[in-house]
């Protein structure tokens, strides 16, 4: 079975105005697109651009600058998540992505909470994630929890491994709370891509792809994506593969590399 491709139109198609990227992605052969933030966007215009292009919005971030690890932000976190759910319903988006820590400009972790122990962070995350799962179940919109790397892109992020994400989602046990598995991030965080895919793939709700180093298209770095995709197939994963990558030269060249897989 060939996994369906999704273009992340924030780092890709950056040479175009945002609303023009939906048609450009469709013209490149993508039936699904995703982006990072819905806040501050004209949702009516986004919906019209997606519908005119004939693409489905796979998802976007649902947590903004708020953190799961901070129990003091729980009320604000859940309130913003409900707003994100409303935006997803309006746009016909298939999912929302959340993280352990709030992210700011360029994906920088806003607060690493060095004053909190790992136990306190896990306790806060677990409690808030249970409420997130209820919101997802009531809305019928899946939520995907994404671990990130701290070595290059997100220093200070708490959730950095597939295992920890799987333990959290597995303990809560909701079919609407899954993992967003980003192969680029996990290659930098833990290295053993196929081992973790085969161990935890049943809990994946969405997959992100970029090569390392550089976060460019597959084939530009050291990750064996032929093997990664084979392991995803073997694990039983049948969701989307989102290409969240920075084109090494041009978007057109990146798309050419993507389509080889």
CA distance 83 to 89: 10
φ, ψ for residue 110, nearest 5 deg: -70, -40
User: What pLDDT score was predicted for residue 137?
Assistant: 98
User: What pLDDT score was predicted for residue 261?
Assistant: 75
User: What pLDDT score was predicted for residue 3?
Assistant: 86
**121 exposure class (CB count in 10 Å sphere: 0-12, 13-18, 19+):** buried
**For residue 110, what are the CA distances in angstroms to 7, 22, 65, 103?**
27, 30, 7, 6
What is the CA angle 246-81-144, rounded to 5? 50
Q: What is the DSSP string of 64-133?
A: TT--TT-GGGHHHHHHHHHHHHHHHHHHT---EEE-SS-B-GGG-BS---TTS-HHHHHHHHHHHHHHHH
Domains contained in the chain, CATH given: 4-259 (3.20.20.150)
In this structure, the strands spanning 56-61 and 240-243 are: unpaired
Q: Look at the block and give the residue holding tokens 């759910």.
A: 85
Q: Are 207 and 241 in contact (CB under 8 A)?
A: yes
User: What pLDDT score was predicted for residue 5?
Assistant: 97
User: What pLDDT score was predicted for residue 174?
Assistant: 98
Per-residue pLDDT of the chain (261 residues; tens, 9 = 90+): 578 999 999 999 999 999 999 999 999 999 999 999 999 999 999 999 999 999 999 999 999 899 999 999 999 999 999 999 999 999 999 999 999 999 999 999 999 999 999 999 999 999 999 999 999 999 999 999 999 999 999 999 999 999 999 999 999 999 999 999 999 999 999 999 999 999 999 999 999 999 999 999 999 999 999 999 999 999 999 999 999 999 999 999 999 999 987
User: What pLDDT score was predicted for residue 57?
Assistant: 98
User: What pLDDT score was predicted for residue 71?
Assistant: 97
């Amino acid at each position: 079975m060939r996994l369906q491709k999704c273009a992340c139109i924030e780092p890709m198609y950056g040479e175009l105005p945002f609303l023009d990227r939906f048609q450009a992605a469709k013209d490149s052969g993508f039936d699904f697109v995703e982006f990072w933030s819905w806040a501050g966007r004209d949702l009516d215009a986004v919906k019209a651009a997606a519908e005119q292009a004939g693409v489905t919005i796979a998802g976007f971030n649902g947590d903004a600058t708020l953190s799961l690890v901070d129990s003091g932000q729980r009320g604000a976190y859940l309130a913003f998540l409900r707003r994100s759910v409303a935006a997803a319903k309006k746009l016909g988006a298939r999912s929302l992505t959340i993280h352990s820590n709030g992210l700011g400009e360029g994906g920088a972790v806003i607060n690493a909470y060095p004053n909190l122990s790992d136990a306190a962070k896990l306790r806060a995350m677990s409690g808030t994630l249970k409420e997130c799962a209820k919101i997802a179940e009531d809305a019928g919109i899946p939520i995907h929890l994404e671990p990130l790397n701290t070595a290059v892109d997100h220093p200070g992020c708490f959730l950095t491994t597939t295992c920890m994400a799987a333990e959290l989602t597995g303990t809560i046990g909701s079919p609407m709370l899954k993992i967003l598995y980003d192969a680029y991030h996990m290659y930098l965080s833990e290295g053993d891509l196929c081992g973790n895919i085969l161990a935890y793939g049943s809990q994946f709700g969405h997959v992100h792809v970029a090569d390392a180093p550089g976060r460019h298209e597959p084939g530009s770095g050291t990750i064996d994506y032929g093997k990664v995709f084979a392991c995803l197939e073997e694990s039983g994963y049948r969701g989307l593969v989102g290409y969240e990558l920075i084109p090494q030269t041009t978007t057109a060249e990146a798309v050419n590399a993507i389509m080889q897989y």
